[in-house]
Amino acid sequence: MPTNVYFDTGTTSEQRLYEDLIIEQLKIYGQDVYYLPRKVANKDTIFGEDPASSFDDSYIIEMYVDNSDGYMGEQEIIKKFGLELRDDIQFTVSKLRWETLISNNTDLQTSLRPNEGDLVYFPTTKKFFEIQFVEHEAPFYQQSALPIYKLSCTTWEYSSERLDTGITSIDATEDDLSTDTMQFQFSLELGTYQAFGTSTLSGDGVSLVSITNDGAYTTAPTVTFSQPDIQGVVTAGSLLTFGAGHTNNAFYNMVGGSGSGLQIRGTGAGGMIGFTIAVAGTGYQVGDVVSTPIGNPATLEITAVNNNTLTLGTAVIDSSGTVTEVTITEAGTGYTSAPTVTFTSSDLQGLPGAITIESTIGAIDYFVNEDFTMATQQPVDMGQAFETAAGTNTASTADDILDFSERNPFGEVDEY
């Protein structure tokens, strides 16, 4: 006997009412989460994985957390590789709300429903959960309809996917868990060799430059030194305004101008009529206006400063193009610490049969000379190979890059 049409529980109006009540309950008792559809770039059809996938869109939607006693699943597991988190969680979302907010606004990978592999970001716990299974038949055809999806999720393990959703709290995960590979990138070029040196002070000027790397040049390089530490010492000034409230022969630490530390001794009670420089200060420029630190200040203009002189020198090279010394032509003045010495990098000559590894985050160049090849019957000591290039870093420094002193990890000659 067919069901009574007067008590039919599957009419369209009843289904819509049932769905509206569910949506209302989700909005009352649910949590706002972000749904992140996965964009597949190069899927492995055998393992069903795509480490190059990305998440470029995010949609905020209300979902009910079915878990009442905390996370499900195996949760924390201690394995031989450390702690592994397997926190499982289940979300309930309205089918109508999901289709309205998400399905109509993005290109999904499989069908117009939540997809396995998509992510749910739960702001309350600040965790990502990957959808493992989508149940669309629970509750089972109440009101002859299927109004919800139940999303079974587990903790997401980040694997270099790109997060570019525009949500700061989400996208920051990529920055926190990724490594900037450019910091560890090296480039190989035909070997050229720049000179380096350090300076030694005598008093406040340079007396000697010690060559630490002698370089390889076709013509002598230009040598430059960093600026003196002390500049802009005040030697003279003139009163602009006299001010009021000054004490005769009192000391005043002047304010204003481009430098600091200028102190004067003023003459005249009330209005200042003259001054002498007690402490000359540093960093001032001609034309700076400074004032006494009182309510009605006197002001003065700096008319002369003493700028210390720069160290000058000339590089000397031998017949092979290496720098043998630096002749100091002007010691310079005003240095409190040894200045930096720089040799120009133009006119560098290549080292025959050598290559250089240039670090993108450091200024040191390492050389491998042609005398050391993988065809030798002996294990290659790359530290020694680096050291053979004249004037390069020591073997111990080179071994920080590659240390083959014990055995060749790429295999011995004629070994298959």
Sign of CA dihedral 203, 208, 209, 212: negative
- Average pLDDT over every residue of 199-220: 89
If asked whether residues 265 and 185 sit together in one domain, one would say no
If asked whether residues 298 and 184 sit together in one domain, one would say no
In-domain check, residue 116: yes
In-domain check, residue 220: no
Q: Is the pLDDT of residue 309 over 50?
A: yes
Q: Which residue has the higher pLDDT, 94 or 373?
A: 94
Which tens digit of pLDDT belongs to each residue from 123-136? 988 899 999 999 88
- Average pLDDT over every residue of 61-90: 77
Three-state DSSP at 173 gives: helix
pTM over 0.85, yes/no: no
Q: Percent of the chain, pLDDT > 70?
A: 70
Q: Which residue has the higher pLDDT, 204 or 187?
A: 204
If asked whether residues 43 and 173 sit together in one domain, one would say yes
pLDDT given for residue 38 in this prediction: 87
If asked whether residues 190 and 270 sit together in one domain, one would say no
If asked whether residues 33 and 133 sit together in one domain, one would say yes
If asked whether residues 356 and 269 sit together in one domain, one would say no
- Taking each continuous run of H as one helix and of E as one strand, the counts in the chain are 5, 24
Q: Which domain holds residue 359?
A: 180-194+348-416
If asked whether residues 243 and 285 sit together in one domain, one would say yes
Q: What's the structural domain count of the chain?
A: 3
What is the H or E stretch that residue 235 is in? strand 233-241
If asked whether residues 149 and 283 sit together in one domain, one would say no
What is the H or E stretch that residue 267 is in? strand 263-267
Q: Is the pLDDT of residue 207 over 60?
A: yes
Q: Percent of the chain, pLDDT > 90?
A: 33
In-domain check, residue 217: no
Q: Is the pLDDT of residue 399 over 70?
A: no
In-domain check, residue 172: yes
Which tens digit of pLDDT belongs to each residue from 44-69? 666 666 667 888 888 999 999 988 77
Q: Which residue stretches of 183-273 are H helix?
A: none
If asked whether residues 268 and 152 sit together in one domain, one would say no
If asked whether residues 302 and 397 sit together in one domain, one would say no
Q: Is the pLDDT of residue 406 over 80?
A: no
If asked whether residues 301 and 163 sit together in one domain, one would say no
If asked whether residues 40 and 23 sit together in one domain, one would say yes
In-domain check, residue 203: no
Interatomic CA distance for residues 86 and 156, integer angstroms? 9
pLDDT given for residue 93 in this prediction: 93
Q: Which residue has the higher pLDDT, 62 or 76?
A: 62
In-domain check, residue 202: no
